[in-house]
């Protein structure tokens, strides 16, 4: 028994040493080796065509060396030549040593960057390696490319906004916000009229990846508590998906006003919310005259139509109503950077 105890006591230092070694964090090389972009080759050119939309651009690179087996994420970034990656656009991400990007997806990125369809343009491409926020990112050397995109409707990245205001439906394609610059910053409007004001931010038309706000502090957490829009009206929503933050603007309650409207210039006729179409709408008897849209029964926020083209301008011209009758009027904030309306006689 004494001999067994002696063996156990003798083994304890080895066990403790092994345990301590497992608790040590890996030591990161003070001068990590950056990733090396192998393909596409610098100076190469690529002409994209709609009939080859399903073909794939293969991006191959050597991984960064941090001095240990790092679980790094690799991102292909592009920018305009001469822009020094001041506003890089993310093309794709991977944890392996290659990425496959369809021509269709790559074409969308080029159009989002402002390239003209059918015209050859110079871009730069690099690989970013990321471990976590405590470790500086590593970047490959930059390569030059000549690319020619094809013409197609630009599809902005989007986030879905299920909530009480639209029946908690993540698949509603109308209640979304967009990243116009494809930079993971999304902007749009959410209409909260007569409900709890609770909603979520979802990456897809489902509940697979959804964000809430556990502390009500403007920080997004995956599967977090419902976000609450405080007040009634139309809120401008900005989501930074990289920083996992969001902001909500002041609520604006919209109505129509003018000598053609039921209350004339004295008061606004309020608009209601169409949850299915994500529109503000009102059906009202209009007389001949003019009308405008304004918020919160004040003139701080008002829209008119300078060109009578159905697209509104802040503080724009009065909208004429040339024939009296019952009309359905809509106000639409869905298109990025544009507010439109319809005026239809019933």
Q: What is the pLDDT of residues 20-30, one digit of tens each?
A: 444 445 555 56
The answer to whether residues 135 and 162 belong to one domain is no
From 208, 233, 248, give the residue that closes a domain: 248
* Residue 226 pLDDT class (50, 70, 90 cuts): very high
What residue numbers bound the domain in which 227 lies?
158-248
| pLDDT given for residue 15 in this prediction | 45
- Domains identified in the chain, total number: 3
User: Sorting pLDDT into bands at 50, 70 and 90, what band is 7?
Assistant: very low
Write the DSSP string, 173-195: TTSEEE-TTSSSEEEEEEEE-SS
pLDDT above 60 (res 265): yes
What's the whole-model pTM score?
A: 0.72
CATH of the domain at 170: 2.60.40.3620
Confidence of residue 68 (pLDDT cuts 50, 70, 90): confident
Determine the pLDDT at residue 29: 58
Is 146 within 8 Å of 128 (Cβ atoms)? no
Do 105 and 204 sit in the same domain of this protein? Answer: no
| 108: three-class secondary structure by DSSP | helix
Of 98, 120, 148, the position where a domain reaches its end is 148
Instruction: List the one residue out of 138, 5, 144, 148 whose CA is nearest residue 79.
Output: 144
Indicate the length of the chain as a whole number.
346
135 and 239 part of one domain: no
C-alpha 277, offset from chain centre: 20
Rg (CA), the chain: 28
The residue among 252, 220, 253, 222 whose CA lies nearest residue 239 is 220
Looking at the structure, tell me whether residues 66 and 90 fall in a common domain: yes
User: What tens digit of pLDDT does each residue of 294-326 get?
Assistant: 999 999 999 999 999 999 999 999 999 999 999
Which pLDDT score, from 0 to 100, does residue 22 have? 46
Q: How far apart are CA 58 and CA 197, in angstroms?
A: 45
In a domain, 202, yes or no: yes
Pair 132, 168 in one domain: no
What mean pLDDT is predicted for residues 174-185? Answer: 90
- The answer to whether the beta carbons of residues 291 and 261 sit under 8 Å apart is yes
CATH number of the domain bearing residue 290: 2.60.40
Q: What's the pLDDT tens digit per position in 15-66?
A: 444 444 444 455 555 678 999 999 999 999 999 999 999 999 999 999 999 9
* Tokens coding 20: 């301590």
On average, the pLDDT of the chain sits at 90
């Amino acid at each position: 028994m004494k001999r067994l105890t002696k063996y156990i006591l003798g083994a304890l230092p080895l066990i403790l040493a092994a345990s301590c070694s497992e608790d040590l964090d890996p030591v990161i090389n003070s001068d990590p080796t950056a990733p090396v972009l192998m393909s596409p080759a610098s100076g190469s050119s690529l002409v994209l065509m709609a009939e080859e939309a399903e073909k794939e651009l293969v991006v191959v690179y050597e991984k960064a060396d941090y001095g240990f087996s790092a679980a790094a994420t690799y991102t292909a970034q592009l920018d305009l030549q001469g822009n020094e990656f001041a506003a890089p656009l993310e093309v794709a991400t991977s944890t392996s040593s290659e990425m496959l990007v369809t021509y269709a997806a790559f074409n969308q990125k080029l159009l989002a960057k402002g390239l003209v369809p059918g015209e050859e343009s110079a871009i730069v491409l690099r690989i970013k390696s990321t471990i976590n926020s405590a470790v500086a990112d590593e970047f490959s050397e930059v390569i030059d490319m000549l690319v020619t995109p094809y013409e197609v409707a630009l599809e902005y990245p989007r986030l879905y906004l299920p909530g009480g205001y639209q029946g908690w439906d993540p698949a509603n394609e109308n209640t979304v916000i967009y990243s116009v610059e494809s930079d993971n910053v999304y902007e749009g409007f959410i209409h909260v009229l007569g409900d709890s004001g609770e909603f979520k931010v979802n990456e897809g038309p489902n509940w697979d990846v959804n964000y809430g706000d556990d502390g009500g502090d403007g920080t997004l957490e995956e599967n977090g508590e419902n976000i609450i829009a405080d007040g009634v009206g139309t809120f401008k929503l900005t989501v930074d998906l990289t920083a996992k933050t969001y902001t909500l603007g002041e609520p604006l309650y919209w109505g129509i006003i003018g000598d053609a409207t039921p209350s004339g210039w004295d008061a606004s006729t309020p608009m209601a919310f169409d949850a299915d179409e994500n529109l503000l709408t009102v059906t009202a008897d209009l007389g001949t005259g003019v009308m405008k849209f304004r918020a919160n029964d004040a003139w701080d926020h008002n829209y008119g139509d300078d060109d009578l083209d159905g697209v509104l301008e802040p503080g724009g011209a009065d909208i004429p109503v040339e024939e009296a009758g019952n009309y359905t009027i809509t106000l639409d904030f869905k298109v990025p950077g544009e507010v439109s309306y319809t005026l239809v006689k019933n």
